[in-house]
Structure 1
Amino acid sequence: MALTSAEKRDFMRDGLHIKRGAVAPDRIARARDLVTTWYRESMNPELISAYTQRTFAPELGSHPDLLALFAESPAAELAQDLLGDVRPVSTVQLQIRIPDGQFEQGQPEKAMHVDGVACPHLDPEELRTFSLLVGVVLSDITDPEAGALRYQPGGHLAMAEWFRTQWSLGITEQVPPDLDAQVGTPFLGRPGDLLLMHHLVPHAVGRNLGPEPRLMAYFRVEHPDHARRRLQALQNPWFDYQGLPQAA
Structure 2
Amino acid sequence: MAQVLQKLYQGFNFLLVERHDARSRDLPLIDSTWQVPAIIGLYLIAVLKVVPRFMENRKPYDLKNVIRLYNIAQVVLNSAFFLAEIYCLWIRPNFNYVCQPVDFSATNRGYEELALSYAYFLLKILDLADTLFFVLRKKHSHVSFLHVYHHAIMVAMTYLGVLFVPGGHIYLLGLWNTLVHAVMYFYYYLASYGSQWAARFKVYLTRMQLVQFVHLGIHFGRPALQAIDCGFPMIWHWIGFGQALLILGMFVDFYIKSYGGGKHKKSA
TM-score class, shorter:
under 0.3
The answer to which structure, 1 or 2, has the higher relative contact order (CA under 8 A, 6+ apart) is 1
TM-score normalised by the chain length of structure 1: 0.28
TM-score normalised by the chain length of structure 2: 0.26
Q: Could you say which structure has the higher helix fraction?
A: 2
